[in-house]
Amino acid sequence: MREINILKTDNRGRVTLPPHFRSEPLFEYVVEGDAIILYPVRTVRKYPNMSDLPVEELSQDWVKIEETVNKDKRRGISATSPADALKALRR
């Protein structure tokens, strides 16, 4: 019989993984009924060849509307914690 572990959440609602899964950086999951099955993934799969899909051109009106709505053009910050993100913003 398989070992069944119940995943618990911390006070922020995040799932706490069993000890042997904590060092895994990437998971694939399958939802079967009420259960979620986690599989550690060693490599990221490549996306399929999408070169044969048609290219969709956006209308100029749509582009102008998006530019007015999305005015923020700052680069993203890569950080391991909120404190590190604040430190990177100060630099």
Q: What is the pLDDT of residues 25-48, one digit of tens each?
A: 777 778 888 777 877 776 666 666
Query: What is the DSSP secondary-structure string of the chain?
Result: -------EE-TTSPEEPPGGGTT-S-EEEEEETTEEEEEE-SSPPPPPP-TTSPPPPPPHHHHHHHHHH----PPP---SSHHHHHHHHH-
Question: Which residues, in sequence order, are bridge partners of residue 27?
Answer: 40
Residue 68, pLDDT above cutoff 80? yes
Instruction: Look up residue 56 and give its two tokens.
Output: 């969709």
pLDDT at residue 48 in the model: 67
pLDDT at residue 13 in the model: 79
Residue 1, pLDDT above cutoff 50? no
Q: Which residue has the higher pLDDT, 78 or 3?
A: 78
Sign of CA pseudo-dihedral 44, 20, 81, 30:
positive
Task: Give the whole-number percent of the chain exceeding pLDDT 90.
Answer: 2
Mean pLDDT taken over the chain: 78
pLDDT at residue 61 in the model: 92
